[in-house]
Amino acid sequence: MNSQNMSFPPQRPRFRKIQSFRTDYAPTTITQYESERSGMQVIVADRKGPKINGYFTLATEILDDSGAPHTLEHLIFMGSKSYRYRGLLDKLAGRAYSVTNAWTAVDHTAYTLETAGWDGFAQILPVYLEHVILPTLTDDACITEVHHIDGEGNDAGVVYSEMQALQYSSGELMDLRARRLLYPENVGFRYETGGMMEALRVLTSQRIREFHKAMYQPQNLAIIVIGEADHDELLKILDDFEESIKDDIPPPDPHFKRPFVDSPQPPPLEKTVVETVEFPEEDESTGEIVVAFFGPSCIDQVQATAMNIIMTYLCGSSVSVIENTMVEKEHLASSVAYWWDSRPNSVIWFQPTGVATEKLAFVEQRLISLLKEVAAKPLDMNYIKECLQREKRQVKLEAEGSEQFYATNLITDYLFGKRDGTTLKDLQSLSEYDALDSWTEEQWRAFLKKWISDAHHISILGKPSLELANSLKANEEARLAKRREELGKEGLERLRERLETATKNNDQPIPPELLDQWPVPGTSSIHFIESATARSGKARSLGVLDNAAQKTIDAAAQGLPLFVQFEDVPTDFVHLTVHVGMSQTPTKLKPLLPLFAENFFNSPVLRDGKRMEFEDVVKQLEKDTISYHISSSSRLGDYEGVAIQFRVDRERYTTIISWLRTLMFDIIFDPVRIKAAIVKALADVPEAKRDGRAMAQEVDTAIHFKPESYLAAKRTLVKAVYLRRLKKLIEREPETVLSWFEELRKSLFTFENIRVLVTADVAKLANPVAAWDDLTKNPSLDPTKDVLPIPQLHSMLSPEGQSPGAFGSVVIPMTTLDSSYSVSTAAGLKSYADPRLPAYLVALGYLEAAEGPLRNAVRGAGLAYGVFFSHEVDGGYVQFKVYRSPDASKAIEASRATVARLASGEQPLDRHLVEAAVSGVVYGVAEEQATMAAAAQQNYVAGVVRGLEPGWNRKILARVRDVTDDEIRAVLRDLIMPVFEPGKSNVVVTCAPIMQEVRLEPTPFPQLLHHPLLVPPFYTQYILRSPNM
């Protein structure tokens, strides 16, 4: 501190603390400030963890479909008054362990800054805020980011392409039509703030600047920060920021109207409207429905929570009345989804999915009549109370484990709550649950009638239409042809030049000296969550550590030697994962696993010698748990297994072990339940088949994995064939199908296959080890056996997957697509012990950096929304993916050329981007371990599944700092370039039919095949065989 500051004590930041309180249900303190100068609000939720999350939120309302809010969101990142370089913000952010992003909702725009450690966050914050408040908003930026016509007469631009992929999707068409019916023209909720394509084509930069001026004022901005924040430094940064912009912004407008709050409110619905909306789709078999009602204000905590509970009561699970009747019993829909939009007049949505097209109108009526039936009879008060208690437990768990809980609530309160902090204060406790606990049956029924069953509603029936798909395509072609004719050769040439100039002006290189003004922050402010490992039973063979948790486990009563790894963190809950291998499961049974999983918690069981119906099983499970889940164990790094997960209050630890025994050994396979699962799964197939990205990935999997692998067996295209046959078979020979399920269960639940991960505050766990005897004593488990090794992903590869390149390429036209997607696969790094691993991680980070070479070559040039690498060291392959491109082959070629120049040294590596790539590896580790449960799971993955030594992650972090440019280039050449080379890589492209003539030029791949979506050789392995087939 110098002498001047000594004589003039620094002025206190001009921020007034409105309030600060600790939440009584989670270890978090919420503090609210307001700038006395500008009215800007600052809301901080302090909680422990390596990450700081910022949400810079503006309430944004507009009364048209121009897309000004969304296009502005993109333009903010193109430069600001003092930093007039596109990409500067993201280059800096990357070096400071940060990632920036943003979204535009119908009622707000939020800019996010996610950082590992406070120091990086503090460095980026002022630069970021200047971009938000004083962006350059140039005409050139509008041309490339929003919309332009390219030299061939096509419409392009980042936002335009984004909306092009969205505008004719069933969800968007239905949602927009519903909102047109819910809201009059003077309410912003009516409009598509993303921008309709026809509006984006004529949107001017002037309109966007006007919108910025009207909405992006500090008094309409909340700085929301979640994580370990340094309040004094935060307020100092914000005060300095306000000082720096004060001459560039108008003084606060005392007549400023708060968007949505001071705007006209929508009138109540005067009548019910049911409309049909067609969406383009070749497969006309199934459609969907949305039904909307107006609900209570989101700011009234009691009413809002009551709405959550009544919706859970109606559709929360297979036993709730709507799901149980329409999905489980009447098979009218594959699910009935529900959600509600938090608004001053909230909107309640029900969405039956996978509905047979000819039954759309009937199913809508059935839903409405069912809601009326429910409200006409007494409600099941026991179940309402259970929903209430369960919801409360879930909120507590979420508040402990996820920053998202605070983000959602703080944003909603800023948008619609009282600015004096009185509504924010409601977050201190969960007292609304106590208030609701005393509601009578009459009160609940009156609530249900008022908002739902007696209320008018808007229903949209979404009907698939091949004709619409064809006419949209024909109209678009005609429109473009007419334009090309009008423009002529000269006109097109002018546009090409204009685009070139804009791109050049946008891409002024950033002087390296400028970036050097910001040093790379240290890592000492990144506080990783420590989770201590302890082991019992067979897990001890992996080694035990000298720590308090292990001492607790060793001192506890020991039981049969089940493989259990404990992770000790200071949580109030128990996260329990049972990891089941499937190496003893016959291939022919693997496609049954998704059905087995669907019914695992949804089947009748034998308990204490008596049959318990599935509804009672679900109700009891809901009572005993916070959540339960079964899925593939891929998130544990094991693609050939199943993960059964429970989250429970600590006192329910032994209860869950007893449930596990029941579910594993005492399920009664019931043909009615199995049929219900088949029907549901089949109904979801058409929708899954519409997804270009997923289909490209599926075909890639079929090429590179053995049919015996679970990854290959669970694909949608396998389901499509297998399930139809299974449905016929179960009608004819139910015993055959039941015997297969029996065989599948026996193959899974053996002592050799089971590993358990318990994440808890170990010292507070009663009987942590011997409690498992309740499960282990089952006669089907033989504790003298050893656990089987976890199969490595690499061993699941087909011969083509072991050494890709012979297959070549396949192009798959899909009617549902307007654009294209691709996956290229080549051999990659194969071992965690490979000394090239640190350079491999840095090289991939370099290519994918937010302002890295690929983004500029591909997204900047309008060739795709994004391109990504994914690398699987366990699988020993590397993949390159193009996401949403007007022509995937051009995006692949541009990427290849870019990587080739870097690999050969023709283009030198950018020092600042290398720094960003190194910081990105650090950020990635913090991101993977952001919560206690995630940090614990990472320990399990590293130690148990991958067999890495303790602290392996930290060692890699130290080594990435020493990676040299030569090492990066060697990795680019030897491990990454092959993904672009014929003979070493295979490529799968899914695309709009109009694009099927794509050629992968100028490096032609052999054997370019044009396939319809069902590629026959890929599913024949699972053809059902029974003695009578």
* Residues of the shown chain interacting with Zn ion in the complex, contacts defined by CB under 5 A: 162
Surface-to-core class of residue 835, CB atoms within 10 Å of its CB (0-12 exposed, 13-18 middle, 19+ buried): exposed
Q: Which is nearer to Zn ion, 76 or 922 (CB)?
A: 76
Q: Which is nearer to Zn ion, 20 or 101 (CB)?
A: 101
The distance of closest approach from Cβ of residue 145 to Zn ion in the complex, given in angstroms and rounded to an integer, is 9
The distance of closest approach from Cβ of residue 491 to Zn ion in the complex, given in angstroms and rounded to an integer, is 29
Q: Which is nearer to Zn ion, 216 or 447 (CB)?
A: 216
CA-to-CA distance for 337 and 351, rounded, in angstroms?
A: 5
Rg over alpha carbons for the chain, rounded to the nearest Å, is 29
Cα 8 to chain centroid distance, Å, stands at 50
The distance of closest approach from Cβ of residue 194 to Zn ion in the complex, given in angstroms and rounded to an integer, is 7
Buried b (16+ CB within 10 A) or exposed e, 910-938: bebbbbbbbbbbbbbbbbebbbbbbbbbb
Is there a cis peptide before residue 268, judged by omega within 30 degrees of 0?
A: no
CA-to-CA distance for 132 and 98, rounded, in angstroms?
A: 17
Q: Which is nearer to Zn ion, 162 or 687 (CB)?
A: 162
The distance of closest approach from Cβ of residue 101 to Zn ion in the complex, given in angstroms and rounded to an integer, is 10
Two tokens, residue 232 = 């004094």
CA-to-CA distance for 329 and 719, rounded, in angstroms?
A: 22
Q: Which is nearer to Zn ion, 176 or 660 (CB)?
A: 176
CA-to-CA distance for 904 and 627, rounded, in angstroms?
A: 52
Sequence letter at residue 760: A
Two tokens, residue 346 = 């909230």
- Measured in residues, the chain has a length of 1029
Nearest CA to 745 out of 780, 706, 707 is that of 780
Sequence letter at residue 719: K
Could you count the other beta carbons within 10 Å of the beta carbon of residue 755?
Answer: 27
Q: Which is nearer to Zn ion, 550 or 819 (CB)?
A: 819
Q: Which is nearer to Zn ion, 163 or 769 (CB)?
A: 163
The distance of closest approach from Cβ of residue 70 to Zn ion in the complex, given in angstroms and rounded to an integer, is 6
Contact call for residues 574 and 652 (beta carbons, < 8 A): yes
Nearest CA to 126 out of 243, 230, 31, 264 is that of 243
Q: Which is nearer to Zn ion, 161 or 824 (CB)?
A: 161
Q: CA 330, 332, 335 angle in degrees (round to 5)?
A: 105
Q: Which is nearer to Zn ion, 58 or 657 (CB)?
A: 58
CA-to-CA distance for 636 and 760, rounded, in angstroms?
A: 18
Strand partners, 462: 277, 288
Q: Which is nearer to Zn ion, 146 or 578 (CB)?
A: 146
CA-to-CA distance for 56 and 338, rounded, in angstroms?
A: 28
Nearest CA to 310 out of 224, 387, 233, 243 is that of 387
Residue, CB closest to Zn ion? 162
The distance of closest approach from Cβ of residue 136 to Zn ion in the complex, given in angstroms and rounded to an integer, is 18
The distance of closest approach from Cβ of residue 104 to Zn ion in the complex, given in angstroms and rounded to an integer, is 7
Side-chain half-sphere exposure of 817, counting CA atoms within 13 A: 31
What is the secondary structure of 809-841 as a DSSP string?
Answer: EEEEE-TT-SSEEEEEEEE----TT-TTHHHHH
CA-to-CA distance for 121 and 935, rounded, in angstroms?
A: 22
Contact call for residues 231 and 44 (beta carbons, < 8 A): yes
Report CA torsion sign: 654, 658, 664, 665.
positive
CA-to-CA distance for 626 and 915, rounded, in angstroms?
A: 42
The distance of closest approach from Cβ of residue 159 to Zn ion in the complex, given in angstroms and rounded to an integer, is 6
CA-to-CA distance for 89 and 136, rounded, in angstroms?
A: 13
Q: Which is nearer to Zn ion, 163 or 626 (CB)?
A: 163
The distance of closest approach from Cβ of residue 163 to Zn ion in the complex, given in angstroms and rounded to an integer, is 8
Terminal alpha carbon distance of the chain: 87
The distance of closest approach from Cβ of residue 721 to Zn ion in the complex, given in angstroms and rounded to an integer, is 37
The distance of closest approach from Cβ of residue 74 to Zn ion in the complex, given in angstroms and rounded to an integer, is 6
Phi, psi for residue 956 in degrees, rounded to 5: -60, -40
Q: Which is nearer to Zn ion, 821 or 1019 (CB)?
A: 821
Sequence letter at residue 604: P
Strand partners, 631: 643
The distance of closest approach from Cβ of residue 720 to Zn ion in the complex, given in angstroms and rounded to an integer, is 33
Q: Which is nearer to Zn ion, 155 or 162 (CB)?
A: 162
Could you count the other beta carbons within 10 Å of the beta carbon of residue 208?
Answer: 24
Q: Which is nearer to Zn ion, 76 or 717 (CB)?
A: 76
The distance of closest approach from Cβ of residue 481 to Zn ion in the complex, given in angstroms and rounded to an integer, is 29
Q: Which is nearer to Zn ion, 79 or 641 (CB)?
A: 79
Helix ranges restricted to H, 601-691: 614-624, 653-665, 671-689
Sequence letter at residue 37: R
Q: Which is nearer to Zn ion, 601 or 865 (CB)?
A: 865
CA-to-CA distance for 865 and 103, rounded, in angstroms?
A: 15
Q: Which is nearer to Zn ion, 162 or 391 (CB)?
A: 162
Place of tokens 């024949």: 1020
The distance of closest approach from Cβ of residue 865 to Zn ion in the complex, given in angstroms and rounded to an integer, is 9
Nearest CA to 942 out of 932, 953, 934 is that of 953
Place of tokens 């004589």: 7
Q: Which is nearer to Zn ion, 162 or 700 (CB)?
A: 162
